[in-house]
Structure formats: C-alpha cells, structure tokens
Structure 1
Amino acid sequence: MKRDQTRPSEPTRRSSASGRGSAPVIGDVLLVGVALLFAVIATITVLNLTGLLVEDAPVANIEFEYESDVKSTYADSFNTTNEAGQYDGLLTITHTHGRTIPAKELFVDNVSSLAGKTSWAVTVATGDGPSYTRTQRVGASDQLEVWVRTTDPVQIIWLFEQDREGLVLAEWEH
C-alpha cells in the first residue's frame, strides 16, 4: 500500500498583531476626531460672526477728583452748567492708565445732571470741558467733567456692543 504523500495542510495562524482587525477601528476613531474638529471650528466661526463671543473687559485705572468751588457758568463735558445751583460740584473723571477704550463703549451712570447711562462719545465740543466723538479712544490722561451732587453714586461702565448690563470699571461716592 502506497502512502499518500500529500501532507495535510497546517492551520494558518493569524494574530491580532498583524493589524488586519484594528484598521477599521483606527479609521473610525480618526473619522470621529476629524468630525469633532470640524464641528468645533464651525461653532467658533459662527459665534465670531454673530458677535456672541465677547471681547475681554478692558483693564483701566479710573480716578475721580471732586471740586466744589467751580464757577456756576462753567460748562462740563456735556455742556451742562450749574447756573441754577442744583449741583454740588464738578467731578473730573480721569483714565490714568491701562488699555485704551473706544469712547462709544464707556458710559457714565448715576449722575443727576445726566439722563441715565450716558456715553463719553456724546460729549459736546462747545462745553468748557473735554469732549469725545464715537470714533475716538479714551486712553491715559484723558478726562471727562460732569456736574454732580454729593449723593450721586457715579459709575463708569464699559458696554461692549449688545451687552445691556455692562461692567463697572470704577465707582465714586463722596
């Protein structure tokens, strides 16, 4: 009897180390990572375009100087005088140092001679005090003068675009 000279086939070993089984998993992980990256970039772009990402608040040092002995005919930065004697004195507000801020973003609030929050940008050039336009920036040594009562809790507020509340940069109480 002749023996069959063919050898039985040996089982082929496939180990997970060969990488054939892990390739689809790595591809899926990379696909998810790329999709997340695009989602983050798209979100940031949309928020920037719609203005929902707000600029950091400016760091500025604001100082106040109150003077009660001022001629009543002196016109402050808003062209207001004290001829009727209803105000106690003149408050000089000075941006001493820090970041320059657009005048249209700086507001004075809680001042009896003004009607509500009033922008530095609406000051009047015809007054005796300093004045600013919407396009000017307020920087170191820039001043604003306003007639006040000693009971006025004056605030300097930074309002950025659509922000309604704003951020109080400085407060004065006599």
Structure 2
Amino acid sequence: MARVYEYDVFISYHREGTMVPAWVRNHFYPRLSALLNEQLDYEAKVFFDGNVQTGGKWPVMLRDALRRARVLVPVCSPKYFMNEWCLAEWHSMARREEVARVGPQGLIYPVIFNDSKSFPQFAHDRRMHSLKEWNSPYPQFQDSLQYLDFHREVERIAEELVDLVGQAPQWRPDWPLDMPEPGPPGPSHLPRL
C-alpha cells in the first residue's frame, strides 16, 4: 500500500438510480477534475469509482482510495443519507477530522444535488455548496448556456478545495475507516435445469 496520499479528492455519491450517477459521470467529475488540475501546481487526482476497472475488487479499492484521499466531496441527495456505503464514507472522513484535530474548515466539502430539507442534522451542521440549479444529468446540458454558469460554480468549488487539500493532515496508514462489509450475493434469477 502507498505510504502517501494518492488522491486530492474522493467523490462520494449514491451509486444507484440514474440521475445522480449520470450527473457525476457526465458533468461533475470531469469539470471538477479539470478545474482542480488548473488550480494546482501538480497533476490533480480525483477518485471517482466510475474509473475502477472491471474485475477490480470494488470494496477493497473503495476503502484504499478513501484512506489515501485528502478531502471528501459528497454529492448529497436524500438517498445519499439512506445508503450505508455513503454514510460510511462520510463518517470515516469525519472520524479522520477528529483524530487529526482538523480546524473548522474540515476535510468534508458537501455539494447539494437536490432536496437538502431531508438531510440529517450532521449534514446541516456543515456549510454546503448547492448545485441544485445545475443538476441536469443529460449530456446535452453541456451544450446549454446554463453550463457556463455550472462551469463557473465548479471553478469556485475547485478554488476552495485547493485550500482544503493544502491543509490536509499528513497521511497516516491508520486513518479510521467505517466501511460496511459487502453482503452475500442475492438469489440467482437463472432457471434451474
């Protein structure tokens, strides 16, 4: 295992459904990666699980990437806070903040995809950056005038993330991780012969 951080940012999001995963894949991840890279004096690395190769050991790779990421960027939606993996990623980084005694800016930079009214109190306790105005998951969104505003907003996020990345504590191999174990596979839907 690497003895240093590998990722500047770990994007955490609810992976089921169509809207949030498509928006992260089509718009948020590519814009954030490119704009963060422009802000840093080295090659920015953003972890997005859509880049995990087929055949990769997903839970192990997810744990390793989270442990080796400086900052967590959760894409918040109501289902995010109902998912055990998403909550584990959030709480793992929150525990790191406690262990490292990180200042008030923290290591979690939440962005709102939709409906922040239903979020739990621990989420409301943090300053969140709303992207609800630009949450269109469709590829055609890139061709709209609204996309220019989205680009500027993600540029602001990248600028703020540069500060958080720079203030991340020195890497430790024992960063706490609160990850669920994958459950047993579901029943087969193949007919018995």
TM-score range, shorter chain: under 0.3
- TM-score (normalizing by structure 2): 0.22
- TM-score (normalizing by structure 1): 0.24
Bigger-Rg structure (1/2): 1
Question: More helix by proportion, 1 or 2?
Answer: 2
| Higher relative contact order, chain-length normalized (CA < 8 Å, sep 6+) | 2
Question: More strand by proportion, 1 or 2?
Answer: 1
